[in-house]
Structure 1
Amino acid sequence: MPADLPADPETDPETTARAICLRLLTDRARTRSELAGALHRRGVPDSVAERVLSRFSEVGLIDDATFAEQWVRSRHSSRGLARRALAAELHHKGVAREVAEEALADVDPESERRKARELIDRRLRTLAVGGPEDRAKAGRRLLGMLARKGYPAGVATEVVRAALAERGADEDELGPADVG
């Protein structure tokens, strides 16, 4: 028997739906879409799910805007994700585009650039950059890391070039500057 369902099989669907939602919300905040998906997977009728989700929204247990703001703040500061990656995560979690855009407003280009530089500086502590080959290899790795975190190519290239230049790279070692 799944852990989210009450022990009594005679329990009405609304009680089951509330129990599922409350259990999921004790782990972390969830979007309305995530909870709706969980209820659907557990076989809760759509009309019951809608009633329970609406009530949870009314009392403030579900708030996609607050969820999105907290998600963006947390994932940008702790994981260093850029706007593009954060937007994709919010979309995947079912957050409406307008709500996501509002939450992403604090992640401006300067904030992205600053976070990208922090990530690069932290990673450079563990990479060999003594010679031109080492710096070229490190540059490729750093660009790949930033790309996976959703940084635009122009920002990534600019930050990596600056960090490697500070560590002795010549202009010709870094390749063309007009990427992105």
Structure 2
Amino acid sequence: MAELDAADGEGAAAAAPTRTARFGEGRVRPARSGDGGRSGEGRGVGRRTRRDGAAARTRRTAGTPAADVPSTDTPSTGEGPADDRRTADEKPRRGWGPQQIDPDADPLVAAREICLRLLTDRARTRHELAQALKQRGVPDEASESVLSRFDEVGLIDDAAFAGQYVRSRHTYRGLSRRAIAMELRRKGVDDEVAGEALEEVDPASEERRARELVDRKLRTVPADTPEQRKKAANRLVGMLARKGYGGSIAYRVVREALAAHGTELDDELDSPDL
């Protein structure tokens, strides 16, 4: 029996010499039966497989054009992609662009649908609609036909658009005549039409609106010391300049507003960046 036990012990030691030596020398956990995924070789294969899979996914992602990515934007009306409701002069988000019409579709029908969707969002000029149709691949002949028909029925009215635009931008944003005129020109409104609309904003109205902007801003701007007053005055003049007001009216309005609040400027103001 002793000889048999000794023989069994020698056989067991011979069966796993490598595992015992590796555990003793390299402090590696001995492999267990059925532990192929946990062994050194199994771990190496697993790591290579994961790396290869990640590299393949990276190559597929890098090779996929941004335009092929499906949109997740859903418009509130459910009538079409959100890009169709953006203005023609708005810059599209990276990777997105205006949706092209179906080449097999009737261009007149497609043009009418695009214009109606855009006009449902807000009033637009003829130029804005023409740019939107061009970006979506509508032929010029079909675009001109649809826009002329919309003109006839009153769906496009640049004069009415200009009047509403002037009142909104001057009343709510405090823009000057010059700034509003530049925006109307960018939207394709004729200079004569824009000039008629801008008659509502006379010099007295401009100065009154500028004073309102300055008075409101002064409530939150410190102006106790001479340095603070000069800094506040320069900031206010710069604000008016960004809204399109000329230097003469900006300087005068700021000085009068500071005097009305019980402070006087001791130094000259810096020239605003126009």
TM-score (norm 1): 0.92
3-state DSSP of counterpart to 1:151: coil
Measured against aligned partners, the alpha-carbon deviations of 1:55-113 in whole angstroms (never above 9, x if no partner) come to 00100000000000000000100000000100000001000000000000010000000
Moved more, 123-132 or 32-41: 123-132
Q: Which has the higher helix share?
A: 1
Q: 1:98 to 1:175 in 2, by over 3 A?
A: same
Match of 1:61 among 155, 166, 174: 155
Q: Is the 8 A contact 2:101 2:110 kept in 1?
A: no
1:20, 1:170 → 2: CA distance? 57
Larger radius of gyration: 2
3-state DSSP of counterpart to 2:105: coil
Unpaired runs of 5+ in structure 2?
Answer: 1-69, 71-79, 85-98
Give the CA deviation at 1:168.
3.0
Match of 1:126 among 197, 200, 220: 220
Q: Tell me the C-alpha RMSD between the 2 structures.
A: 2.0
Q: 1:43 to 1:6 in 2, by over 3 A?
A: closer
1:7, 1:145 → 2: CA distance? 43
Q: Is the 8 A contact 2:101 2:137 kept in 1?
A: no
Report the counterpart of residue 253 of structure 2 in structure 1: 159
User: What is the 5 A alignment of 1:41-52?
Assistant: 41-52=135-146
Counterpart AA for 1:33: H
1:94 aligns with 2:208: no
3-state DSSP of counterpart to 1:74: helix
Report the counterpart of residue 22 of structure 1 in structure 2: 116
Give the CA deviation at 1:9.
5.8
1:30, 1:7 → 2: CA distance? 20
1:31, 1:39 → 2: CA distance? 13
Q: 1:138 to 1:115 in 2, by over 3 A?
A: same
Counterpart AA for 1:134: Q
Report the counterpart of residue 268 of structure 2 in structure 1: 175
Counterpart AA for 1:175: E
1:72 aligns with 2:166: yes
Report the counterpart of residue 39 of structure 1 in structure 2: 133
Q: 1:139 to 1:153 in 2, by over 3 A?
A: same
Residue correspondences, number: 176
Unpaired runs of 5+ in structure 1?
Answer: none
1:116, 1:170 → 2: CA distance? 19
1:116, 1:154 → 2: CA distance? 12
